[in-house]
Structure 1
Amino acid sequence: MHVLVMGAGVVGVTSAWFLRQAGHEVTVVDRQSRAGLETSYANGGQISVSHAEPWANPSAPFKLIKWLAQPDAPLLFRLRLDPAQWLWGLKFLTQCTSGKAAWNIRQMVNLGTYSRERLQALRRDLDLDYDYLGKGILHFYTSDKEFEAAHEPTRIMRELGCDRQIIEPAEALKLEPALEPIRDRIAGATYTREDESGDARKFTQALARKAEEAGVEFLYNTEVVGFENTRDRVLGVGIIGEDGGHRTLRMDSYVLSMGSYSPWYARKLGFFLNIYPAKGYSITAPVKDEKAAFQVSLTDDEYKLVYSRLGNRLRVAGTAELNGYERDLNLVRCNAIVRRAAEIMPEGAYWDQSEFWTGLRPATPSNVPYIGRSPLNNLYLNTGHGTLGWTHSCGSAAALADIMTGKRPELDFEFTNL
Structure 2
Amino acid sequence: MQVLILGSGVIGVTSAYYLARAGHDVTVIDRQPQPALETSFANAGEVSPGYSSPWAGPGVPVKAVKWLLMKHGPLVIRPKLDPVMWWWLLKMLRNCTSARYAVNKSRMIPIAEYSRDCLQALRAEIGIKYDERARGTLQLFRYQAQLDGTAEDIAVLKQYGVPYEVLDRDGCIAAEPALALVKDKVAGGLRLPHDETGDCHMFTQALAREAEKLGVRFNFNVGIDGLNADATRITGVATSAGVMTADAYVLALGSYSPQLVRPLGISLPVYPVKGYSITVPIKDAAGAPESTVMDESYKVAITRLGDRIRVGGTAEISGYSKQLYPARRATLDHSLTEMFPRGGDLAKATFWCGLRPMTPDGPPVIGKTRYANLHLNTGHGTLGWTMACGSGRVLADMLSGKTPEIDTKELSITRYDHRFG
Unpaired runs of at least 5, structure 2 = 415-421
The residue identity in structure 2 corresponding to 1:6 is L
SS in 1 for 2:133: coil
Alignment of 1:4-403 (within 5 A): 4-70=4-70, 72-241=72-241, 247-403=242-398
Alignment partners' CA distance in 2, 1:115 and 1:23: 21
Summarize deviations over 1:152-191 as a string: whole Å, max 9, x none. 1232123213212222222111111111233223222111
Moved more, 154-163 or 207-216: 154-163
Alignment partners' CA distance in 2, 1:273 and 1:149: 35
SS in 2 for 1:153: helix
SS in 2 for 1:337: helix
The residue identity in structure 2 corresponding to 1:27 is T
Alignment partners' CA distance in 2, 1:173 and 1:411: 37
Q: CA deviation at 1:324?
A: 0.5
Q: Does the CA-based 8 Å contact 1:105-1:157 persist in structure 2? A: no
Summarize deviations over 1:375-410 as a string: whole Å, max 9, x none. 211100100101110000000111111111112211
Q: CA deviation at 1:151?
A: 2.6
Q: Does the CA-based 8 Å contact 1:225-1:239 persist in structure 2? A: yes
SS in 1 for 2:50: coil
Alignment partners' CA distance in 1, 2:71 and 2:285: 33
Moved more, 376-385 or 155-164: 155-164
Moved more, 73-82 or 109-118: 73-82
2:411 is the alignment partner of 1:415: yes
Alignment partners' CA distance in 2, 1:168 and 1:67: 26
TM-score normalized by structure 1?
0.96
Moved more, 4-13 or 333-342: 333-342
Q: CA deviation at 1:53?
A: 2.7
The residue identity in structure 1 corresponding to 2:154 is T
Q: CA deviation at 1:417?
A: 6.0
Alignment partners' CA distance in 2, 1:188 and 1:296: 17
The residue identity in structure 1 corresponding to 2:392 is A
Q: CA deviation at 1:38?
A: 0.4
Q: Does the CA-based 8 Å contact 2:251-2:375 persist in structure 1? A: yes
Q: Does the CA-based 8 Å contact 1:284-1:316 persist in structure 2? A: yes
Summarize deviations over 1:326-368 as a string: whole Å, max 9, x none. 1011111011110111011110111232110011110111221
The residue identity in structure 1 corresponding to 2:347 is D
TM-score normalized by structure 2?
0.95
Unpaired runs of at least 5, structure 1 = 242-246
Alignment partners' CA distance in 2, 1:67 and 1:366: 20
Alignment partners' CA distance in 1, 2:185 and 2:272: 34
After superposition, the CA RMSD in angstroms is: 1.4
The residue identity in structure 2 corresponding to 1:305 is V
Summarize deviations over 1:14-65 as a string: whole Å, max 9, x none. 0000111111111000000000000000000010112123211112101222
Q: CA deviation at 1:69?
A: 4.3
The residue identity in structure 2 corresponding to 1:13 is V
Q: Does the CA-based 8 Å contact 2:237-2:243 persist in structure 1? A: yes
Alignment partners' CA distance in 2, 1:314 and 1:15: 28
Alignment partners' CA distance in 1, 2:248 and 2:315: 34
Aligned to 2:419: none
Alignment partners' CA distance in 1, 2:85 and 2:405: 34
Q: Does the CA-based 8 Å contact 1:134-1:194 persist in structure 2? A: yes
Moved more, 304-313 or 66-75: 66-75
Summarize deviations over 1:196-230 as a string: whole Å, max 9, x none. 10100000000001101110011000011122102
Alignment partners' CA distance in 1, 2:216 and 2:347: 42
Q: Does the CA-based 8 Å contact 2:198-2:305 persist in structure 1? A: yes
SS in 2 for 1:50: helix
Give the % identical residues: 43
Q: Does the CA-based 8 Å contact 1:110-1:160 persist in structure 2? A: no
The residue identity in structure 1 corresponding to 2:231 is R
Q: CA deviation at 1:231?
A: 2.8
Paired positions, count: 413
The residue identity in structure 2 corresponding to 1:181 is L
Alignment partners' CA distance in 2, 1:10 and 1:146: 34
Q: CA deviation at 1:129?
A: 1.5
Alignment partners' CA distance in 2, 1:312 and 1:261: 33
- From the superposition, tell whether residues 374 and 148 of structure 1 become closer, same or farther in structure 2 (CA, over 3 Å): farther
